[in-house]
Structure 1
Amino acid sequence: MRESILKNKSYHFAVLIVKTYKIISSEKKEYTLSRQLLKSGTSIGANIREAEFAQSNKDFINKMSIALKEANETEYWLLLLKDTEFIKIEDFNLLINHNKELIKMLVSTINTMKSKI
């Protein structure tokens, strides 16, 4: 159940990231930072999906840990895009809140699985 919520939230977040990328690249003509955001922001959900069919508990933890790293990197790019005024503060707040929620859920999932090993 928990992973399903995480899977859904990470997918919704990826959609928001793709839409943000499209706006930044088309309206602001910024391609480098926005591409980095696109890669890390969509990688979170991709790694969560990979974890669904992990070969072992250790593999599951590894995939979720990679998703957590990607979420942390995404936070960096969001902060940088905000501070360089490529995204509006309202958009930043929406995205950073979603990202922080994903981070909390990933940490909880990883810790829960580690306690079972």
Structure 2
Amino acid sequence: MLYQDKDLKIRTKLFTVRVLSFAESLDYSVVKKIIVNQMAKSGSSVGANYRSACRGRSDAEFLSKMNIVLEEADETLFWLEIIQEMKWKDCDDLLLKEANELTAIFVTIIKNTKSRMHSK
């Protein structure tokens, strides 16, 4: 199965770039380094794993990889919220919104895929 959504591929890549740019803008401290590193890893993983999921050879493989995408998007959202709550820097509201929207999109994709698999 080859799942294609060019707009979502572009959107996840832009999300990765925005997360990495935000990470670069933060001041350095030992604790911040840990959190920012985690955020950068999960944020960059969203786009990379989404592209991998789109190349899934079956619904089951696609679903498995999309669950990873969802986990990474949600983890990125978590780190953005931590940075915001620690008052290290105000997160760009658009970045937080995008993280929430992507998470919701991935949940919907996973639900629809499961539904399609069970109806076969």
TM-score scaled by structure 2? 0.86
2:109 pairs with 1:109: yes
What CA deviation, in whole Å up to 9, does each residue of 1:63-113 have, x standing for no partner? 111100111111110111011112214x2x221100011011111111121
Residue from 84, 90, 96 that aligns with 2:86: 84
The number of equivalent residue pairs is: 112
Query: Do the aligned residues in 1 keep the contact of 2:4 with 2:54 (CA within 8 Å)?
Result: no
Cα distance in 2 for partners of 1:21, 1:47 equals 20
Q: Between the two proteins, what is the percent identity of the paired residues? A: 31
What CA deviation, in whole Å up to 9, does each residue of 1:35-73 have, x standing for no partner? 111001111111100011112110101111110011111
Q: Which has the higher helix share?
A: 1
Partner of 2:38: 36
Partner of 2:24: 22
Cα distance in 2 for partners of 1:14, 1:86 equals 20
Q: Which has the larger radius of gyration?
A: 2
Could you tell me which runs of 5 or more consecutive residues in structure 1 were left unpaired when the two chains were aligned: none
TM-score scaled by structure 1? 0.88
User: Secondary structure of the residue that 2:88 maps to in structure 1?
Assistant: coil
Give the 4+ runs in structure 1 shifted more than 6 A. none
* CA-CA distance at 1:4 after TM superposition: 2.1
User: RMSD of aligned C-alpha atoms?
Assistant: 1.5
